[in-house]
Structure 1
Amino acid sequence: MITLRLNHQQRAFLQMVVDRDGVLGDIGDLVRAAVRDAPDPAPLTFPAVSTPPARTAVADHLLEPGTGKAVEVAAGQVLRIVQLEGHQCVDLNVFTLADRRERLHVGRTRGMQGPHPAPGDVLWSNAPWERPIMAITGGNATTDTQFPFCSRLIYSAFFGLHDRTNCQEIQNEAQREYGLGPWDIHESLNLFMHTAPGPDGSPVIRRNLARPGDYIEFTALTDVLAIPNVCGDDLSNCSNFNLRPVRVLVEDPLAEDATRARAARDRAVVLGLPQPRDVPDPQPLRRDPGYVADFPYLPLRPADVQVDFDESRFHQVKNVPLYAGDDAAALRDLTLSWAIERLGAFTGND
């Protein structure tokens, strides 16, 4: 007997697959089929270990699953986002404090820096400003600019699910602290997301390789409002089928941070920037002192299932490099991967 560790929205998804399948009797049948059909795990290559320098923190936030946080980062300060348990994707939105209309432009960043910005690259803002607003100055996180945030649409269209954690609504709530509405959200920079070309060359999301202590650092090139959120997707490789907390710090810079930020900016604009345009009536961002966070679809409640199955087969196919001794996480991965493929097989959504 092994425990399949789930939250209530994952269990509801598995029950929906059972109900629609017509062959499976219950979730136990689904788990046994998943273990039986599981392929051998693919080899993995993890990012090199990296250790951040010691700095003085001016803000330190714990982001629980299903939440986000708007944090002010003054020009020159360092924003560091850190894995606590590993495997967790983080979505990042960025706005300039001087004018809410100037924000991170993920498409421009992808066009200028490539699909996976890394230390030494910069984040670009939208037109008419079109300038570097943050520099990536440290860390070992993988990043992605190709996939949009998960949303109510994604879960409705691909899974037939409604009213569950998703990055769009988490982001909307986090940015409300500074008076930003749902119409202000922009495409996110995906942090700790591992993507690669699929069989036809199109990008696909691979399993999340982030480990405890992995991190990414940004140095602000102007005063910004950075809004990271814990990705709400617990039904994909994006965060390895679970939601976990992350840590977000704002730190006073070291001399080396300024040097790296300046070098990244200089590389990005080696041939110069266009003359800045006059943008009338700036709309600065200010915190609402009466804001009280109200993130939807929380709390996530435990909804474990006890399952009997061929444990010898499970120990052959579980992903040891990724999950080490966490059999519950390995079983959840096998089970939800199989269930999603099964759902696609009888709905035609491959």
Structure 2
Amino acid sequence: MKLENGETPRPLDADARRTVAPVICYPVDSLAPPDLSAYRAARDGWQKVDEVIVPPRDARSFTVPAGHFFRIVSVEGPQVGDLNLWSLNDINERFFSGKTRALHGTHLSTGDRLWSCLPYLRPMATITQDTLDWYGFDEYGGSVHDVIGTRCDPYTHRLLSGHDYHYCCHSNLTRALAHRLNRPLAAVEPAVHDVLNVFMCTGFTRDTGQYFMKASPVRPGDFLEFFAEIDLLGALSACPGGDCSSEHSSDAAACYPLLVEVYKPKAAPIGWVSPARNGYDGSHGES
């Protein structure tokens, strides 16, 4: 039965159904937590071995050997970045934002890990320091470093505006990967994937459930630091939305560069071993 306004009538037990307690889909108690004290101790005496400047409204690639650290640093003004990660030796293994979200939550910070896609499903990188960890969740439900958004892209821009824009993060990341691998844009575009939105402040509206963004709290000198669990190829886009306080996919926002720094420790963290591929046998029920 439908009401006159087209809505479905509330069942008699509606309130009881709405108050059922939630259950965590993927409890992570069985996962060994990262030994952050060992990671931090490994930073003593480390040496910076590489740095890459990512220009505004553009992207650059970088590599990080397993057992090294890398930082994404705000250097001039409030700027968010879209991060892609691949296995250095096999770009079919890439960052899996959806599974990372399922395991750690909508926004990442110190101690959370970036997991790779199926069938690999192993930690690619561990966040070892976050200078924005003080932000938490604000009154709107917003927080930083999300794995809920995708990445601004020219296809959605075309769909919503009717115009072409070539410096969305998807396009920037595609160019960066194509240049790194010396392959055509069309050949590498399928490998560009959903991102970690570094420094971006996002959430969902309470009333409509829509994805929102607001001005990033990032300041020059803030950084997000990672430990590379496997050999990594990365690409970072300095989003055309700048601090994402108003809009993206345009040339209207003030944009700033981002810095990627790579550090080599004197020795690997005590007890650390680069993770192997997921141990599932791949039979999927077939004998």
**Residue 242 (structure 1) shift:** 2.1
Query: Which residue is 1:252 aligned to?
Result: 264
Query: Which residue is 2:198 aligned to?
Result: 191
Q: 1:75 to 1:276 in 2, by over 3 A?
A: farther
Structure 1 residue runs of 5 or longer lacking an equivalent are 1-51, 267-272, 279-350
Q: 1:101 to 1:277 in 2, by over 3 A?
A: farther
1:212 maps to a residue whose letter is P
Query: Which residue is 1:77 aligned to?
Result: 68
Measured against aligned partners, the alpha-carbon deviations of 1:289-332 in whole angstroms (never above 9, x if no partner) come to xxxxxxxxxxxxxxxxxxxxxxxxxxxxxxxxxxxxxxxxxxxx
**C-alpha separation in 2, matches of 1:78 and 1:193:** 21
Measured against aligned partners, the alpha-carbon deviations of 1:129-161 in whole angstroms (never above 9, x if no partner) come to 111111111122430011111111232233343
Q: Give percent identity, aligned residues only.
A: 28
**C-alpha separation in 2, matches of 1:163 and 1:120:** 36
Query: Which residue is 1:221 aligned to?
Result: 229
1:204 and 2:215 are equivalent in the alignment: no
Question: Aligned match of 1:64 in 55, 58, 64?
Answer: 55
1:106 maps to a residue whose letter is S
**C-alpha separation in 2, matches of 1:205 and 1:53:** 37
1:132 and 2:129 are equivalent in the alignment: no
Query: Which residue is 2:147 aligned to?
Result: 145
Contact 1:94 1:225 in 2 (8 A): yes
Contact 1:86 1:213 in 2 (8 A): no
Question: Aligned match of 1:168 in 167, 170, 173?
Answer: 170
Query: Which residue is 1:275 aligned to?
Result: 279
Q: What is the TM-score when the length of structure 2 is the normalising length?
A: 0.68
SS of structure 2 residue aligned to 1:181 = helix
Query: Which residue is 1:14 aligned to?
Result: none
1:225 maps to a residue whose letter is L
**C-alpha separation in 2, matches of 1:210 and 1:137:** 18
Question: Aligned match of 1:159 in 150, 158, 161?
Answer: 161
Contact 2:78 2:242 in 1 (8 A): no
Q: 1:244 to 1:235 in 2, by over 3 A?
A: closer
**Residue 247 (structure 1) shift:** 0.8
SS of structure 1 residue aligned to 2:150 = coil
**C-alpha separation in 2, matches of 1:239 and 1:59:** 32
Alignment of 1:1-350 (within 5 A): 55-141=46-132, 142-176=144-178, 177-178=180-181, 179=183, 181-200=188-207, 201-233=209-241, 236-237=244-245, 241-253=253-265, 258=269, 275-277=279-281
SS of structure 2 residue aligned to 1:196 = strand
Q: 1:235 to 1:216 in 2, by over 3 A?
A: closer
**Residue 79 (structure 1) shift:** 1.1
Deviates more, 1:111-120 or 1:195-204: 195-204
**C-alpha separation in 1, matches of 2:92 and 2:226:** 21
**C-alpha separation in 1, matches of 2:151 and 2:122:** 23
Structure 1 vs Structure 2 CA RMSD: 2.9
**Residue 112 (structure 1) shift:** 0.8
Q: What is the TM-score when the length of structure 1 is the normalising length?
A: 0.56
Contact 2:79 2:242 in 1 (8 A): no
Structure 2 residue runs of 5 or longer lacking an equivalent are 1-42, 133-143, 283-287
Contact 1:79 1:219 in 2 (8 A): yes
Q: 1:185 to 1:238 in 2, by over 3 A?
A: farther
Measured against aligned partners, the alpha-carbon deviations of 1:5-64 in whole angstroms (never above 9, x if no partner) come to xxxxxxxxxxxxxxxxxxxxxxxxxxxxxxxxxxxxxxxxxxxxxxx9774111111111
**C-alpha separation in 1, matches of 2:57 and 2:95:** 22
